[in-house]
Structure 1
Amino acid sequence: MMRLIKACNYIVVKLLELMLRPFKVKDRAVFVSYFSEHPEGNLKCMLEEMRRNYDIPLVTLFSSYGKGLAAKIKFVGHTLKETYYYSTSRLILLEGNSYVLSVIKKKKGVTAVQVWHAAGAFKKFGADTDRFYAISGIDAALVSCPQVTKIYAQALNVEESRVFPVGIPRADVFCEREFLSRARQQVERRYPRLKGKKTVLYAPTFRGSGIDDINRKEIDLEKLRQMEQEGYALMMRRHPLMERTDVKEIADVSDMDLMEALAAADILITDYSSVIFEFSLLDRPMIFLAPDEGDYEKERGFYFGYEGFVPGPVVHSEGEVLKCLKKDDFEPEKRKRFAEKFTYGFDGRATERAVEKAVEIGKIKK
């Protein structure tokens, strides 16, 4: 059934593309995401900046992935909207892979700029992974730092000279002390039991190749909660593609803005998530709980050797996490080396640089 839907979707997209050939390209910018129903992260920052400073129409196409037939029909509807706007808009800003962009032939005057949803480069993505469609149609990319331009050029099938380091727009708020204190206050109001404790955020990534192939490595969250005996409090934030895990007495901050959740945490526990790039800007401890490290490396792969790359101790069980917390040893020298290599443009102006570069590439006038 799903193969039939994909085949029909391809035919409809190509027919619509053909019908839209006579339509003129309009001076407008389109923001596209499949991770949320509303603007978030880098795209949200750039959207707000453009609303303040540019007098052009701005269109948002936001939709979250889902499983089942109804979700697939919704996806088809979203791709038809994409086809229309990709065929009639001067600037396209997207934060993930786009099936439509990969199968249509863009008109002259249409520019697609990739603003990838994750910072840095950690696990392999885009053209460096197995996919059911090729990655193409990208004209330029905005990335967090110069050290990853070659990786993004390869993963997005774009010339390296068209990959521009600008910093991390959504992390601009980390330069504001008021934001940092407000984020902590917000999570404490929501979960009063966190007040006065060191907060530990567990933020794992998903396993699998897409929404129809999502799985996760089961972690004993109740065992992790034993950290509370040492004065810590556990929070959890799921990846957008992961289903909710209900565990009593754990502060679930999955619906919070990612930057707010990170700002509210004293310590981060993750596995292979790129949130380490943003969290490193705060210069706070990290622990890497990677019980399936070998399997994940074989299935997905990394751009750097895992244990030598991550800015903190690597452990493979919940018990080892508790030992790390008890010893209070988070290998700060690794964190320092990581920050020196990957911190770029952390001055509160990454959003401004990203928008300026995007409109320059797309030839948008103020």
Structure 2
Amino acid sequence: MKNNIVLYMKEILKLFLILEFKIFSIFPLKDKKIVFCEGTNSKFSGNCRNIYEYLKEKKYSFYLVELQKKQNYNFIKNYNFYNLKGIYHLATAKYWFADSGFLSFLPKRNEQKNIQLWHGAGAFKKFGFAELRDKNIKYNKNKFKSIDLLSVSSDKIIDIYAEAFGIEREKIKNLGIPRADIFFKENEKLRVKEEFFNKYTNLKDKKIIMYAPTFRDNDKGNFNLKLDINLMKEKLEKLDYVLLLRLHPSIKKDNIQVDNKFSFNFGDYPQVSDLLIASDILISDYSSIIFEFSIMKKPILFYSYDVEEYIKDRGFYYNYYDFIPNKINYTTDEVVNSIINKEWDLERIEKFARYFFNPFDGNSTERVLKEVGLWEEEK
């Protein structure tokens, strides 16, 4: 009963937002206005930010509309999605760049361009309509019809995204993932490392392990960290390793104990690409973060203690056991031994990266902007 009331209220809210959008659509469309739309708690640090960084010196006006506004920025005006001003800017902007699909129910004007830069790279666990279908959940087949362009990182995953979004294959193009461009640029990575270690001088001469597990529905309550930090400290601290925790923004981290000597909580660090560049080893499970890290041909360990349960609950586009470019670790002991014994194959990781990033270069931002007519060649 309670769930039905919540769903009903959400539908009523959508109708109000649609009405507001239609009212604001009487105002002229502004060809030089660009709205970025984010709904992934990324603190404006992902694909949309890359597009902004290229265009910010051009003659455009920029606005950020977030599903949940958590802070103000001093370089761009930002609004909550439910703020009238946010809806006004969406109704009058020529271009929408989005990293999630929360705004797709709005009745986009014919002259507007809705460019979808999905927040996850590659294709791993099932999402969108594919996940709902497998769970026999009813869904709105027209939800994403307003998308004009969806950019992906490889021809091999176009069909997967067509199914997940329920849109025509012709709307999906292999232009790349803008936020991944930095991982191909050696000078940029050196700059990031220098700035990072100037700020965190205590980490400069350490071998950095980053643990970035995926979000699980049962993590919404009291989160239970399955990685034994004390055991890792006992075995690895003497070998000059340190552990950075990068947990999902939705997880309550009050009960996560770190000592800020061996273990550190970087859950609120704004730019995840900095952490990937600074880290020497990544530990994850089912998170799409592995795709970007693999570009740099660095070790990835898979701590997938609940793999069978996760497969049944969520499902994957590939056979998980064959898909990942390393073996599965089921316990912290196994993770520690894999690190000490260097149990990884960097050539296999590179092959994995080239499968999901093809072309294998750092020119995704350029390709996306050329496709929508916003790229300007340097004079």
Whether TM-score is above 0.5 comes out as yes
Q: Kindly indicate whether residue 56 of structure 2 is the aligned counterpart of residue 48 of structure 1.
A: no
1:90 and 1:195, CA in 2 relative to 1: closer, same or farther beyond 3 A? closer
Which residue does 1:200 correspond to in 2? Answer: 209
1:301 and 1:358, CA in 2 relative to 1: closer, same or farther beyond 3 A? farther
One-letter identity of the residue aligned with 1:284: K
Q: Kindly indicate whether residue 157 of structure 2 is the aligned counterpart of residue 159 of structure 1.
A: no
Which residue does 2:227 correspond to in 1? Answer: 219
Which residue does 2:330 correspond to in 1? Answer: 316
One-letter identity of the residue aligned with 1:338: F
User: How far, CA to CA, are the matches of 2:323 and 2:246 in structure 1?
Assistant: 23
TM-score by length of 1: 0.84
Contact 1:86 1:101 in 2 (8 A): no
User: How far, CA to CA, are the matches of 1:179 and 1:360 in structure 2?
Assistant: 23
Any stretches of 5+ residues in structure 1 without a counterpart? 67-73, 362-366
One-letter identity of the residue aligned with 1:336: E
134-143 or 4-13: bigger deviation: 4-13
User: How far, CA to CA, are the matches of 1:230 and 1:247 in structure 2?
Assistant: 18
Which residue does 1:248 correspond to in 2? Answer: 259
CA shift for structure 1 position 85: 3.3
CA shift for structure 1 position 280: 1.0
User: How far, CA to CA, are the matches of 1:204 and 1:18 in structure 2?
Assistant: 41
> Percent same amino acid at aligned positions?
29
Aligned residue-pair number: 349
Aligned residue among 97, 105, 108 for 1:106:
108
One-letter identity of the residue aligned with 2:335: V
CA shift for structure 1 position 200: 0.9
CA shift for structure 1 position 95: 0.2
1:346 and 1:333, CA in 2 relative to 1: closer, same or farther beyond 3 A? closer
* Matched position secondary structure for 1:29: strand
Q: Kindly indicate whether residue 97 of structure 2 is the aligned counterpart of residue 86 of structure 1.
A: no
CA shift for structure 1 position 269: 0.4
129-138 or 227-236: bigger deviation: 129-138
Which residue does 1:348 correspond to in 2? Answer: 362
Q: Kindly indicate whether residue 37 of structure 2 is the aligned counterpart of residue 32 of structure 1.
A: yes
TM-score by length of 2: 0.82
Which residue does 1:95 correspond to in 2? Answer: 99
108-117 or 333-342: bigger deviation: 333-342
User: How far, CA to CA, are the matches of 1:294 and 1:194 in structure 2?
Assistant: 36
Contact 2:80 2:86 in 1 (8 A): no
Contact 2:354 2:360 in 1 (8 A): no
Contact 1:38 1:63 in 2 (8 A): no
Q: Kindly indicate whether residue 18 of structure 2 is the aligned counterpart of residue 14 of structure 1.
A: yes
Which residue does 1:359 correspond to in 2? Answer: 373
